[in-house]
Amino acid sequence: MRVYGRRILEEALKSGIRIKKVFFAKLERYEKGFLELVEEVERRGIKYHFAEKEKLTSMVGKGHQGVVMDIEDFKYSDLEEVLNVEAPFFVLLDHIQDPHNLGAIIRSAAGAGATGVIIPKDRSVKVTPAVVKVSAGTVFKIPIVLVTNLARTIEALKERDVWVYAVDMDGKPYYEEDLTGPVGVVFGSEGKGLGKLVKDRCDGVIGIPMENSVESLNVSVSAGIILFEIRRQRRLKG
């Protein structure tokens, strides 16, 4: 996978994933932080090459910040690997299509301390270079789990005493619900929302009250609100 950006390289180095090669842009002057990245890449014995800035732009487009890298294919986590934690906190996504939404949700999930993000294998965006970029490299900080069937996964979570909530506009105000225990929250796709089968499998429904006749929010915005409410409640509980 070819990804880009200084922050992405920093997070990739921290995560321990295999970096095959790094391309650095030739610049007239280098910031200290940039040079430190080059030194760290060299120290680890990672192949690297300096190229004209235009060459990097031709490889990935603009916004590369002078850094492009080839890394190993993204490794998804197994559901069983992430289930055995105390008070798990899962984010489940029902066929999200937009890589920018997925990247933003992963970033919020990592920041809120979620145990993992669960996405279905079919009809859903996977971890792509765009997702890595939007997530600011947080895809390397939190387990991302691919599952065959989201409804069955919800049942598996419930068998482990995880209380699973669908997030929908007709739900109980999210701030009135106790979200401090083992919990999973399910967000629907951009166009169709939550599938009926998935929603029916959930233990309850929570929503975000709206004003001014606004019907809904972007899914990544909704996720940010709900996920940090879970974090807030858990911190208050201690």
Look at strands 67-71 and 2-4 and give their pairing.
Answer: antiparallel
Domains: count for the chain: 2
- Tens digit of each residue's pLDDT (9 = 90 or more) over 60-83: 998 898 999 999 999 999 998 898
Q: Which long-range contacts (CB under 8 A, 24 or more apart) does 38-43 make?
A: 40/13, 41/9, 41/13
Q: What is the mean pLDDT of residues 186-212?
A: 91
Is residue 86 domain-shared with residue 11, that is, in the same domain? no
Query: Can you give the residue range of the structural domain that contains 22?
Result: 2-71
- Kindly state the tokens that stand for 233: 């409640």
Q: What is the mean pLDDT of the chain?
A: 93
Is residue 176 domain-shared with residue 110, that is, in the same domain? yes
Is residue 197 domain-shared with residue 83, that is, in the same domain? yes
Residue 90 has a pLDDT of: 98
CATH of the domain at 33: 3.30.1330.30
Is residue 230 domain-shared with residue 214, that is, in the same domain? yes
Q: What is the mean pLDDT of residues 194-217?
A: 90
On whether the CB atoms of residues 133 and 103 are closer than 8 A, the answer is yes
- Tens digit of each residue's pLDDT (9 = 90 or more) over 110-146: 999 999 999 999 888 999 999 999 999 999 999 999 9
pTM of the model: 0.92
Query: What's the farthest any 2 CA atoms get from each other in the chain?
Result: 59
Q: What is the mean pLDDT of residues 144-169?
A: 95
On whether the CB atoms of residues 194 and 175 are closer than 8 A, the answer is no
Is residue 135 domain-shared with residue 192, that is, in the same domain? yes
First-to-last alpha carbon distance for the chain, in angstroms, is 40
Grade residue 97 by pLDDT with cuts at 50, 70 and 90: very high
Distant-in-sequence, close-in-space partners of 8: CB < 8 Å, separation ≥ 6: 67, 69, 132, 133, 136, 137
Does pLDDT of 19 surpass 80? yes
In our burial notation (b when 16+ CB lie closer than 10 A, e otherwise), range 112-148 reads: bebbbbbbbeeebbebbbebbbbbbbbbbbbbbbbbe
Half-sphere exposure of 85 (CA within 13 A, CB side): 17
